[in-house]
Amino acid sequence: NLDVQDLVEKEDIFSLICMLRVQQNEKRLDAAMALMRFARDAERGNKEKGRLREEILSSGGLHSLLTLFRTRNILYKLKIVTCLAVAYVLPSFESSSHPSSSLDLKIVECLRYLASADESVTHNDETVTRAEMFEAFARALTTFWVNHLEPLLNARKAATVASLKSNELTRSVFSSR
């Protein structure tokens, strides 16, 4: 019987994340919307909300949001709000602390869904426009690429080059005998 508004006022991130798992779509939507607002406010420069965005990530919020996104038969607006929350949380995501190709694919799938959104979403008199969705998508994808995927690809490329050089060195040592 937790009231989402009370949790928002208390900035109880963990309880809001837990509410993403309840059966009532309305409560899940309220919780996802609250988490999305906290993360969005951080994206817009609110330092206090930046702390809350970090807390969303460190409390498992990204994983919970992605799990909710991948749930079958959920409301369109719940799925969109969940994708927006993921998009706004991503700037706090650090690749070194979360190495997982499975997680990467879930994030990309979620962002792709957000980019393909075809209508605005309204909940409790708050409208999220397609323009906001596309802007959130673009920033999240750029941030995810620069902070996570590009370093990961560069590290793999460096490992491949080192392996090739090692093989060349081995061949040259043995061929000179």
The C-alpha atoms of residue 33 and residue 22 are separated, in whole angstroms, by 15
Q: Read out DSSP for 45-102?
A: T-HHHHHHHHHHHHTTHHHHHHHHHT-TT--HHHHHHHHHHHHHHGGG--GGG---HH
pLDDT score of 143: 82
The C-alpha atoms of residue 112 and residue 172 are separated, in whole angstroms, by 47
Q: Given pLDDT bands bounded at 50, 70 and 90, which one contains residue 164?
A: low
Q: Which residue has the tokens 């590009």?
A: 150
The C-alpha atoms of residue 6 and residue 63 are separated, in whole angstroms, by 23
Average pLDDT over residues 153-177: 65
- Residue with the bigger pLDDT between 142 and 81: it is 81
Report the candidate in 136, 113, 129 with the shortest Cα–Cα distance to residue 40: 136
pLDDT in tens, 26-70: 999 999 999 999 999 887 776 777 788 889 988 999 999 999 999
- Tell me: pLDDT of 177 over 80: no
Does the pTM of the predicted model rise above 0.75?
A: yes
The C-alpha atoms of residue 89 and residue 132 are separated, in whole angstroms, by 15
- For the chain, the average pLDDT equals 84
pLDDT score of 17: 96
- Residue with the bigger pLDDT between 92 and 113: it is 113
- Residue with the bigger pLDDT between 95 and 140: it is 140
pLDDT score of 37: 93
